[in-house]
Amino acid sequence: MTPAQLEIQLITAVTAAACALVGVFLVLRRSAMLSDAISHAILPGIVLGFFLTEDLASPVLLIAAAGTGIVTVAIIEAVGNTRLVKQDAAIGLVFPALFSIGVILIARFASGVHLDTDAVLLGDPAFAWIERFSVGGRDLGPKALWLMGSILVLIVGFVVLFYKELKLATFDSALAAALGFAPIALHYALMSLVSVTAVGAFDVVGSILVVALMIAPPAAAYLLTDRLPVLLGLAVGIGVASAVGGYWLARLLDASIAGAMATMTGVLFALVFAFAPERGLVAQARRRASQRREFARRMLLVHLLHHEHTPEAERECRVPHLQEHLRWEPSFAETAVRYAERTGTVRRAGDRLSLTATGRTAAQEAMVE
């Protein structure tokens, strides 16, 4: 691995970790779409900041753009509070307007400088290492790494320091307010961090990938745990795995790194979605199948008990009759009978079915329920 390759992976991993941390709170607050809004609406802030500083990694630009993010959230809330449009529609109304202002500003005034719409939307981690941070002629590494590293430290500090307050305000903002914990101030502090992260990350990964990194890893982690500290750790882990995995996928396919990273967030989410131990699709399907089997067994036992020792038992208590009486497909009847046999509740002689002692007790219990 060349130093540049290592640096690219470091930059994307740090970016992914920062995005995942703020993303957890966005997902838990059910305002995931705010990340989309903020990451787009900061564009005019970036353009104006760029006019002022001519430097994409300047702190002034960062602050200007983050300010736009806060303004965006405030406008969305103001529009939503009129109750003339719903909150999600308010998001959809506000951010394209701000984003388009940014696009027009670039087209009108910034043609010819190093700032174009493609770069803003997609970014390119491949070049993120080129601009260096040096003090007194000594090279201290890529500027992007320093920038995203500082943002990550800021976020970690905020989350660690205000963990208790963030948790309370996210879970029960009314109690947070009643206890005097200023949930609205916390909300805006969090939105500022989302904005700063989005601005810092857009140059590396582009504004669309920022959304993928903020939402997919926390959403996947949410399916794997029911403890918030674990959720935060898992989200960061999945984010970093997407970043590093995406880098190598891009090399393998000779494709865009940003694109491959976004793909990886989707792939990892899909894997978790399907195979999460308790909440995944497979686990759910298994649970449903076993419930269905259990219910079928109970129906069978009760049916047999009902006709036990009666004149029509000869006719009723036969496998083929189950198809008619319980309206079971032949294959399902076979599965249910086998399952009942395996659990020691039913005996089969040819087609003829009868209850075992255990089966009789189970049937009687099932009737009581």
By CB under 8 A, name the binding residues for other proteins.
28, 30, 161-165, 167-168, 170-172, 174-175, 177-181, 222, 225-228, 230-231
**Min. distance of Cβ 293 from other proteins in angstroms?**
24
Q: For other proteins, which is the closer residue by CB, 276 or 355?
A: 276
Report DSSP state, residue 347. Answer: E
**Min. distance of Cβ 185 from other proteins in angstroms?**
11
Q: How far is CA 149 from each of CA 38, 63, 121, 243, rounded to the nearest angstrom?
A: 20, 16, 22, 15
Q: For other proteins, which is the closer residue by CB, 192 or 195?
A: 192
Q: How far is CA 298 from each of CA 151, 290, 306, 332, rounded to the nearest angstrom?
A: 59, 12, 12, 14
**Min. distance of Cβ 72 from other proteins in angstroms?**
24
Which among 98, 128, 158, 181 has a CA at the least distance from the CA of 4?
A: 128
- Answer whether 322's CB lies under 8 Å from 352's CB: no
- Answer whether 143's CB lies under 8 Å from 131's CB: yes
**Min. distance of Cβ 326 from other proteins in angstroms?**
32
Q: For other proteins, which is the closer residue by CB, 163 or 275?
A: 163
**Min. distance of Cβ 123 from other proteins in angstroms?**
31
**Min. distance of Cβ 85 from other proteins in angstroms?**
16
Q: For other proteins, which is the closer residue by CB, 91 or 169?
A: 169
Q: For other proteins, which is the closer residue by CB, 134 or 291?
A: 291
Alpha helices in 179-312 (DSSP H): 183-222, 228-253, 257-275, 281-307
236 alpha carbon, distance to own chain's centre: 11
Residues 11 and 127: their CA atoms lie apart, in Å, by 11
**Min. distance of Cβ 27 from other proteins in angstroms?**
10
Q: For other proteins, which is the closer residue by CB, 148 or 223?
A: 223
**Helix (H) or strand (E) run with residue 14 in it:** helix 3-28
Q: For other proteins, which is the closer residue by CB, 138 or 227?
A: 227
**Helix (H) or strand (E) run with residue 141 in it:** strand 138-142
